[in-house]
Structure 1
Amino acid sequence: MTAYTTSTKIKLGLILAAVAIGLGSLVFTQRLADRLESQDELAVELWARAIEFQYRVSAQSVGPDPEVWDDLARATGASALEPERRAALLAAIDSLRDGPPSDGLDFVFSQIIEPNRFSIPAVITDTAMTTAMLSRNVGEDEDLLALAAEMDAVHVPIQIQGFGQLVHYGESPLARMIRLFPYVQLAVVALFVLVGYLGFSYVRRSEQSNLWVGMAKEAAHQLGTPLSSMIGWVELLRLGDAVDPEMVADELEQDVDRLRRVADRFEKIGSMPALTPTPVRPVLDAVADYIRRRVPTSGPPVAITVDVPDWLTARLNVDLYEWVIENLLKNALDAMEGMPGPHEIAITGTEMGGDVLVFVRDTGKGMDRATARHVFRPGFSTKRRGWGLGLSLARRIIEVYHGGQIVVEATAPGEGTTFRITLDAADTASS
């Protein structure tokens, strides 16, 4: 139940993070677009004022008829003025006759009005909006008057003072792109969240499927050994006097006890089991004896040794801890399959800093680093017939139920593997 709650929280967190990113991006880009729009408005204002300046200068350059200037010159030349004063007035008349200086007008026209230095669509019309006089960044087939009306719905037109003209302008392509960007970003983020959600759900379903299949196979495997043994003893009993009934009864009792422990394991794997201070050595000896009786006799000899101090005590659930050691020993036997012997599985233990350390070392094939990183992952197995559940269960039992740690202490291809289990030390007197 906790796993599903955590999964739901993670999904909600991803969705909320995506929404927060989208909203933050939307607010930021809208502010950026507003600032860009203000700059565009200033550019259009400058363009309108440049045109107004051109109109004014052009109007001033249209002076009186040339004959008027000639009459003024003759009158000034004939008047009784000092020579220097007369010369200055004649020079002024010549300057006015030529019109105002054209340098400023040429700069305004060539640098501001004529070049298309901004990408803002603009249209100049009369104040009645009956005639379109000039346009910038507008398609050739556009209805300029209709376009000007659309622009006025967004921006107030700029008036060219004294000449009865209006400058209508719209939004630049860059500003439109910036305003649209957060929506595109939201779509991309939503797509990533959707893909992540689907991927997360697929991985969870896949792990659940592997877990259920693995648990079913593990249950069949755990139950299969004592059941096969019981069937064999029943067949021997049918032979009558050929077997000792007491011996058969003892063996059957051991198999029944084995079935009970298997049932206890599967019952406790779904809930937090009780932990009690327990000497480690007897538990390890019992599992080692059980595995010794099942070592294949057809292959190279395998020695299983236990070197653990009798006083070493840890807080354990015996049934589940036996399951962990049993899985490690079975994996060790599988790792030795097909390799020349003799082989050894050594179980050692010590206490260090208030922790009980148990090492399980084998002389099997070993693993490379990439494989060692994944051995505890559900469904991962290097065996063709494996279902990748034994070590993942071992990790859950040690780390979740016992609050300890299980790691690959050392491994290398061809040099075997050593697992280390770390648990809290306990004093048997405290029980």
Structure 2
Amino acid sequence: MNGPQVKPERTGFRMQPVALLNSLKLRRSLLDSYGQKNIYKFVIGFNLFLISIGSLFYTNNLVGKLEERELRQVKLFAESLRYAINSDYDEDLNGIMEMIREANTFYEIPAIYVDENNMPAAHNNLAFPTNASPETQERLIEENLAKMKAQHSPIPVELGEGRIGNVYYSNSFLLTQLRYYPYIQLSGIFIIGFLAYLAFSSARKAEQNQVWVGLAKETAHQLGTPLSSLMAWTEYFRSDPDMDPSIAEEIEKDVQRLEMITTRFSNIGSVPTLKEEKVAEVVAGFIKYLQRRVSSKVKFFIDDQLNEGQTVLLNRNLFEWVVENICKNAVDAMGGVGEIKISLVPMIAQNEVIIDIQDNGKGMSKANVAKIFRPGFSTKKRGWGLGLTLAKRIIENYHDGRLFVKSSELGKGTTFRIVMQIAGKAGV
């Protein structure tokens, strides 16, 4: 080659207009699907709310009418008692009470008559165990009387000469059933609705997972052909004595990078192989790699509080992808200038390791925090808004861990938290 050879300067990847347009279309379609899903949820929830209110209102109206009718029946019962007690008939009071009871069996309203000495003298529609002794019946009458006094005001019975008795009563079994029926009905509706929602969400999630798997594997497949070509060109440049060897080395590094990306996408949808890895070493090694590939004005700090050799079950390729996605989002949030602090803290009681990734960027509003893991959502103009979505799926679906936004404040920065299960004791 003629003339001085200039080592190409490393530049960031820039999306072409067509790719950017496709990215925006995909992001918009993903956000639209989530928006429609939320609308459906609101419509279903609002209809359930209307049904609940209507059912409660209608039932309460029926309960009110039935309470009025039962009150009239008890007043009639009290008036019958007054007439029987004050009459000149020599018939036994219990015999008269039996006739009144037979006339009142339809409503089955439990009632107890207490005489002027505050002693139970007669009762109506009280259930006693078979072959209950007089002592048992007396005790049950006292218990029912206490409940009746707490439930309704007594109906006075004029006995003459200033003597007054009282009739205490409680709601009939029919009224009690009717009072609680709407709550039982609504509970059943909500349980069925909740189970239907879980089934629908499960089916929808399975469908989404199939889309993710298909997209990832197709991407890995499409990258395979140009990768093979690039590897051949690398060997060709190395064989050319006029070619600067550093150029081939730089191309090879990028090819290796693309191979790693292809491996990551290939692992999506497959059960990844998890190995016991020293998590501090994995994080430190990858941050060292990442530091050379982001802005030199971004400084990384690692605060390792783990026991030496602490291991975690993970798939290294996928886990590094998660850390990369979070760190690159942090770099973008800081505008390429700032600090990223990574803290590794043991939670021995919970058998967990916490990895906090904190930046001092622009932060997020509460509304954006709630949407940050949704497919297609992004605060940046470029990209598909899928990086954090995939990161969450990798941690939670493949590593049985948790990934969430621990804190975020506008103008101060954001902290993402990764929670992983400890694989074994230190030094294992």
Q: When the two structures are superposed, what TM-score results if normalisation uses the length of structure 1?
A: 0.44
Which has the higher relative contact order, 1 or 2, with Cα contacts under 8 A spaced 6 or more apart? 2
Q: When the two structures are superposed, what TM-score results if normalisation uses the length of structure 2?
A: 0.45
